[in-house]
Amino acid sequence: MRFSVAMPEELLVRFDQLVARRGLAKNRSEVVRDLVRDALVEDECATPGMEVVGTLTIVFDHHANDLQEKLHAIQHDYFEYIVSSMHVHLDAHRCLEVIVLRGETGLVQDIANLILGTKGVKNGRLVVTTTGHAL
């Protein structure tokens, strides 16, 4: 189905730059479809009761007091929602960990916030997508 979109010229110029950065196989229509899909997934992930999968990526100093034990304890407390994790040594002090979570959207966010709020975690981000199923 076709439809028209009106927008200010400056916004269209910036959009065309985005289309160009996305590569040769992309055109305005495909990028609009991508953006709409992303917005719909984001909206679905924010709906209470939806099942989501997410990757929580954190960076921390492994020398921080009892931090690894605290992170392991949280993961063991919520083991049924943690699909997998990967630990990477960035340098002599810093580690990166990627934790894959699956569960109800609010619970996944709560677990991520618990981990992100643990003293010694320097920074991190949760990225979620929908499984398409309500719980």
Cβ neighbours of residue 117 under 8 Å, at least 6 residues apart?
Answer: none
Q: What does the pLDDT look like over 79-103, one tens digit per residue? A: 999 999 999 999 999 999 999 999 9
Supply the mean pLDDT for the chain: 92
What does the pLDDT read at residue 24?
73
Strand, helix or coil at 65? coil
